[in-house]
Every structure is written in structure tokens, then in C-alpha cells.
Amino acid sequence: MNNIHIEERMNHFRVQGLSLLFIEQGQISKIEHHGTLEAGTNQKVNTHSLFHACSISKFLTSLLVMSLVEQGYLNLDEDVNKKLISWKVPDSRFTKHNKVTLRNLLCHLSGIVDPAHSFPPLNALKEYPSMKDLLNGKTPYCKRAIEVSNEPWHAFHYSDAGYCIIQQLIEDVMQQPFENSMEDFIFKPLHMENSTFSTSMTNSHEKTYACGHHQNGELVEVNYPTYPYPAACGLWTTPSDLAKFLLEFMHAIKGASQIGISAKLAKAVLEPQGGKEWTGLGVFLEGAQHEVEISSLGWGVGFQCMLVAYPYLEKGFIIMTNTDVGVHQMQGIIGELYRSFIPST
């Protein structure tokens, strides 16, 4: 890492707490923790401090899908309506020739466009909604029913709704809540003990969670923002747990998966989809072949984070913060730390 004074840059951007981790040669080479879980306290960030990973959740959802595909529960390329039970993608003129599939949902090319002003954080005063009601437009989180607005594969539209459909499909097929499948197929086998998709924070666990902060350094209104659509953006975790996940992905590419994902399916995550060289399955791509870079960014109320990896080179970078600095990750402290890591790749 190039010379960069992390705590000085944290003060500059008013970042309250930060954890970062580097992977080199297939091993964790550096872990650092800075700042506090909550502004104005002495609760220091440590290796067990959970941050809200926001949309990094989509990368984990993608690998869960691959695990279920490998075991024959799901199919990447069949019409998702064949296995959806609780809710169906509405048929329309847009789905006449191309159907909505897991593959085009994972890469945001399904033709589904999120309604305006949809998918805010969970309001703690409201009941946790069912995914069926959310997809039918019957909740405050999405007031319009989800439908296909463009022909699948025609155009890229980043979509939380698409991942809600993936979640509903997994729940229908596995006959259990999404978070239970994630526990069974990802968290437990990889010993990710500091990771959860739960939307409830019990008092006994509050000290391990980082509180969210605004760009002015003040606490967000709800200290621990949660989202009632886990597959899209519900993950709370640590860089150390994300490193276990990332190293598993690197191992899977080499045919050495701990959770039974074949090298073929792992490499499918890295393949450009729909003629778009920058979108893979649950991740974004830069470069090609053995120097391909994958990235997954999280940005939500009070939090920003980033996961970057070069799977074939067995290198990676994970940073999590409990502050929304108000600018894109690459324009804030996360971007500065990312660029300090790049020369070593």
C-alpha cells in the first residue's frame, strides 16, 4: 500500500469507523481497523465489528445461486416462472421471445426496471413485509408491482427488484427463508460466523454492529439501517468474513471449492453477459482473461464499502466504512485506498 495516512484521510472525509483487508498470493496479507462503531463513543472497530455491506449482498446471492444450480435445484437459463410459486413474472409483449432467467436477473439484463423512489431502508415501526407483497407493489418499499419493462437482454438496468425475484425463487424452491439457505450453503460451510442477513438487531448483539453515519459525521436516524430484501442489499458482515467468501471463490475457479461449486460455474460469474463486457453474474468486470478485475460496491444509508478482486491472480481488497461520505466510493477514502493498492496488483 502506498504511503497514505488512513486516520488523517478519515478525518478529512469525516469517516467514523473503517476496516480494511488485503489478500495477496491467495492469503490475507493485511488487516487494519480504525475509528469507532459510533461517533462520540470509545467503542473501537475491531475484527468482529459488523458493517452493513449493502449491495455486496448481490455477490453472495450470486454464489448461493451457483451452489443451488450445481446441486440441481436451479437452472441459470430456464424461465424463472417454471419454479416460482408464490409470485410469477407477469407475461407481456416484452417476454414473448426472451424470458426472464436467473442469468439475466443476476447481470441486470432482465428487462426489469426498479420503480422510482423504491427500495428504501426498513422503517423499524412497520411490519417486515413478505417478498410476495413487495413484488406486487403492496408495501411502502415498492408501491408499484414489478413487471418487465424492456425485452430481456436488450438493455442494462441495475435492479434491486431483480434480486428480489431471485430471493423469492430461492425461497419457493428451497421452502425456507432466504437467509436460512444462505446459512446452510454459504455461511456455515465457510465458517462465516460474523455474517447475517437478519433484519433484527438484538440488544445483546448491538455492541458488535457499526452504527451508520451521515457525511457530516452525525448518526443516521435509525442507527442500524436494514433493508427488507436481503438478497439485494441485506448483508451485515466483516472484511474477515468477506475474505473467507472471496478466497472460496478463488478456490472454486481452480476446482477446489469447499462448497461444491465447479470451476465451470465459478468462471461463469466472470463471463461478460449480454454483450456487455463489464457485467458478470452478480459482479462488475474490468479487464479480461487472467487479469480480470471483479468489483462489488455497497452504498446505503450511513455506510459505504467495496470489494475488489483479481481472482486468477489471487489478490483482493475489501474496505468497509460506517459513513456515507456523500460521493461515489471512488471519489472518497475508499477510492484513495483502492488506488494505493492497485500498483501491487
Reported as a single tens digit per residue, the pLDDT across 234-265 is 999 999 999 999 999 999 999 999 999 999 99
Distance CA 275, CA 140 (A): 35
Model confidence over 314-324: pLDDT tens digits? 999 999 999 99
Unique residue bearing C-alpha cell 468489483: 295
* Phi, psi angle pair for 131, to nearest 5°: -65, -35
Query: Is pLDDT at 345 greater than 50 in this prediction?
Result: no
pLDDT value at residue 6 = 94
- Type of residue at 114: D
C-alpha cell at 282: 452478480
pLDDT value at residue 1 = 52
- Type of residue at 307: L
Model confidence over 171-207: pLDDT tens digits? 999 999 999 999 999 999 999 999 999 876 654 455 5
Distance CA 140, CA 57 (A): 22
**pTM score, whole prediction:** 0.94
Query: Is pLDDT at 152 greater than 50 in this prediction?
Result: yes
Unique residue bearing C-alpha cell 417476454: 95
Nearest of 4, 36, 3 to residue 18 by alpha carbon: 36
The answer to whether 28 and 22 are in contact (CB under 8 A) is yes
Q: Where are the domains of the chain?
A: 6-344
**In the structure, what pLDDT confidence band is assigned to residue 140 with cuts at 50, 70 and 90?**
confident
pLDDT value at residue 201 = 62
Q: HSE on the CB side for 264, CA within 13 Å? A: 3
What is the pLDDT averaged over residues 31-54?
Answer: 95
What is the pLDDT averaged over residues 121-126?
Answer: 60
Query: Is pLDDT at 75 greater than 80 in this prediction?
Result: yes
Give the three-class secondary structure for 278.
Answer: coil
pLDDT value at residue 11 = 95
pLDDT value at residue 2 = 56
pLDDT value at residue 289 = 87
Model confidence over 266-294: pLDDT tens digits? 999 999 999 999 999 999 999 988 999 99
Distance CA 169, CA 178 (A): 9
Q: What is the DSSP letter of 262?
A: -
pLDDT value at residue 204 = 44
pLDDT value at residue 202 = 53
**In the structure, what pLDDT confidence band is assigned to residue 344 with cuts at 50, 70 and 90?**
low
Give domain 6-344's CATH superfamily. DD-peptidase/beta-lactamase superfamily (3.40.710.10)
